[in-house]
Structure 1
Amino acid sequence: MSSKNSKREEENAHEELTIKEELNNKIKEQKILVDELSNLKKNRRVYTQQPNSNIFFLADKGETLSSCKKELDTTRKEYQDL
């Protein structure tokens, strides 16, 4: 009975580690994205991709930057909660 419990604990630990790695990678991507958007010249255009498609639309740089910052904050919070 205890071998089953230890196996479950190992699986849960492995799953949590995988989730942490994914969140860490997402945090890195979001940091880079925020830095890139912050360093763009004022006259540069920004395009956002529509979910589940290959279509891009012209977007407001400020709105895009703020939404990326919000997503970074929520991802950091998720990471800290684990």
Structure 2
Amino acid sequence: MSCRSRDTEDNCEGQSALKEELNRKIKEQKVVVDELSNLKKTRRVFIQQRNSNIFFLADRGQTLGSCKKQLDSMKKDLQEM
């Protein structure tokens, strides 16, 4: 898609910024998945409660699965842009 009119240019810049932000989040999520994948099975995993500084003990397998789903969802969103 080419940007020709002024409104379209603003829209393209906004969409480009969104893509960059989504790419950054995808990279972060890949690191999280890799770190969780390489942990020893005896290691503890904690997840942070939303909007809080409280961490709770979590199951490593469930956390890894959840992170993989989030990564897949972000990749799908990026492809749809």
1:30 maps to 29
SS in 2 for 1:54: coil
Aligned length: 78
Deviations 1:32-82 (A, max 9, x none): 000000000111000000010110000000000000000000000000000
Larger Rg: 1
Structure 1 regions of 5+ residues with no counterpart? none
Which structure has the higher relative contact order (CA within 8 Å, separation 6+)?
1
Provide the C-alpha distance between the structure 2 equivalents of 1:32 and 1:20, rounded to a whole number of angstroms: 19
**Within 5 Å, which residues of 2 pair with 1:8-23?**
8-23=7-22
**Counterpart residue number, 1:50:** 49
SS at match of 1:44: coil
CA distance in 1, matches of 2:29, 2:42: 22
Provide TM-score, normalisation by structure 2: 0.94
Q: Helix, strand or coil for the counterpart of 2:56?
A: strand
Aligned sequence identity (%): 62
Equivalent-residue separation in structure 2 for 1:10 and 1:16 (angstroms): 10
**Structure richer in helix, relative to its length:** 1
Moved over 3 A (4+): none
Q: Give the deviation of 1:6 after TM superposition.
A: 1.2
Q: Residue in 2 aligned with 1:7?
A: 6
Counterpart-to-counterpart distance in 2, 1:22 and 1:55: 26
Distance 1:69 1:22 in 2: 19
